Amino acid sequence: MTPALRQIVRCARLATLAGASTLVLTGTAPAAPQVQAAGGLRVVGYSSQRALHAAASQSGARVVRRIPSLHVAVLRTPPAAAQLLRSAPGIRYSTRPVPRYELVDPGVAPAPVMGGAYEWQFAAARENLVSAGILHAASAFTIAVIDTGLDVTAPDLAVKSPATWSVTGSSTDVTDLYGHGTFVASLAAGAATNAEGVAGFGGDASLLAIQAADSSGTFSDVDEAAAIAYAVDHGAKIINMSFGGPASSSAEQSAVAYAAAHGVLMVAAAGNSGQAGNPPNYPAALLQPIGSNGQGGVGLAVSASTVSGTRASFSNYGSYISLAAPGENVFGALSSSSDPSHWPRQSLPGSAAGVYGYGSGTSFSSPEVAGAAALVWAANPQLSAAGVAGILKQSASGRGAWSPDLGFGILDTASAVAQAQGTSVSLPDVALTGSRAGRQVGLSWSFPNAASYRLTVSRDGQAPDVLLGATNSTTATFNLDPGHSYSFAVTATDGYGRTQSSAPYVVTFPYFAVKLDLRSTTVRAAKRRAVRLASAFSADRSVSSAGRKLLLESFDGRTWHRFSTAATGSGGVATWTVKLRRGSYRFRVRYAGADELAPAVSRAVSVRT
């Protein structure tokens, strides 16, 4: 059975969960599914406990669950009780439970993606540029992850000693049989400094894992509301909600209002229905209201981006998108209790423990933003939840410009932290080095997580020319003309269009004039006169005069001809001894030139024998 077919089967297998109807884990989330009513369950908002008990008594209903801080309860009712509940004194509303859907794309095969690392999203969101001091300061803040539970033995999560609670089981046992919650939690708050596995986006932030679903991943708006209330009441400053559905409810709205009133920042996945009608997804569209174009709101709705910096095709889009974060083929920790056929394992070189894999969905974009929020708050603890949200939006890759696909752009954690501190981001340098051999120059360059490079050269201070544009190469070799100065520079661009330039690499090729002096002397040889010719080679003092190859030429009355060659000795002198018949001769010496030396010709010398 394929993963997609298993998801369809799950959608059809609607189960009742401790007074709640169904939440189904889906891939690219479908349009509003046809959900059967949970047998006899009603969600009511009540003004007082007395009013609740009176309404239950009069309608013949039984209270099966309460969320006291929200004044919300779940009642099991007889068929005729619905009308009585709606009109009972002190009952604000009476509705059926509303399903919620996890936002993960199970159809993407687990395979390494471009980006330079298994967890490519960490550097793509510039988490790697945040200082160790900020990562540690985040320990003062708690991120609550409301999801399918947690594998508390996963190395990156175990080291956090996470607090746990199951709102459906009323216990601290949050065993994650489904696996979604563990993956999400590893992205939000996995340990970033334990030299094992993956690095969460929240640094040393504390983790509160709240299980709101069973092993099949089903839960409702009531479970969601109860989990939000529990997170607020137990000190969470940030709540991640990687789930949703096409409709909201009064219980959900009460819970969101409760968290907002307590200064908690809520972050939610925008939805995976970008190719299936793109209906708004809740609670994301409660946090960033429809029609707001990213302005205001009580939290953040997060869409998914790809390794190339575009909106993932499955991701929802529209006026309720706050910002985006990597969500296609991202890498995270897997629950050891999850089904390997649903969560395929990926070996992680250098990791000694834990299981890991790839996943896609706005479910995995949202916790990255939630983790980054903890770092922003650590950088400036005086910020309000709205202030943290505003900084995350304005520092994203759009730099203040909003679009329906990516909101204010892709998460830029380093810029967000710097903005919270009132500083600027300290970027690593593009490393550019070179070597020279004669007129040939070899260059090499590198930059962490670069998507492409651009190599330019300026000759003698003129405007730069592009030698290589948008290349993935990291080396190049060039033959240069002597007598000029060259200044090379490399600009690196990451997958999100951010650029960083190298310091220039300057090469100067001096071009020295050469002087040749030719003299002749007559020597006697048997039966024939001989002439000794000596040529002195001289140039700049920094240039060796030894070992220079000189060409002796003779003139026949019409043109010069090659006669003989000789190399200069340690003193820069080359000599020839030539036996000649009687007559008149003319000689000269020619030097062809070298990388740093100009060609030269000596004066002509006349010889008569």
| Burial grade of 426 (CB within 10 A; 0-12, 13-18, 19 or more) | exposed
pLDDT for 421 equals 95
Q: Report the topology of domain 431-508.
A: Immunoglobulin-like (2.60.40)
pLDDT for 82 equals 82
- Contact between 593 and 543 under an 8 Å Cβ cutoff? The reply is no
Look at residues 254, 227, 203 and name the one whose alpha carbon lies nearest to residue 147. 227
- Contact between 519 and 605 under an 8 Å Cβ cutoff? The reply is yes
Tokens, residue 482? 């002597």
Q: Are strands 573-579 and 528-538 parallel, antiparallel or unpaired?
A: antiparallel
Which residues belong to CATH 2.60.40.10 in the chain?
Answer: 431-508, 515-608
* Active site (catalytic) residues: 147, 180, 363
Segments of the chain with pLDDT less than 70: 1-39, 102-116, 495-497, 524-528
| Residue range 366-407, pLDDT digits in tens | 999 999 999 999 999 999 999 999 999 999 999 999 999 999
Q: Strand, helix or coil at 528?
A: strand
pLDDT for 38 equals 42
CATH class of 3-95: alpha beta
Q: Report the topology of domain 515-608.
A: Immunoglobulin-like (2.60.40)
- Residues ≥6 apart with Cβ < 8 Å to 302: 267, 268, 269, 270, 284, 321, 322, 323, 324, 325, 362, 365, 366, 368, 369, 407
Q: Report the topology of domain 105-421.
A: Rossmann fold (3.40.50)
Q: Is the dihedral of CA 295, 298, 299, 300 positive or negative?
A: negative
pLDDT for 124 equals 87
Which residues belong to CATH 3.30.70.80 in the chain?
Answer: 3-95
| Burial grade of 3 (CB within 10 A; 0-12, 13-18, 19 or more) | middle
pLDDT for 429 equals 84
Give the Å distances, CA to CA, from 547 to 487, 543, 584, 591, 598: 31, 11, 31, 12, 16
Look-up: residue for tokens 């220039």? 504
Give the Å distances, CA to CA, from 534 to 362, 520, 521, 564, 580: 84, 6, 8, 13, 16
Quote the CA–CA distance of 460 and 317 in Å, as a whole number.
50
pLDDT for 350 equals 82
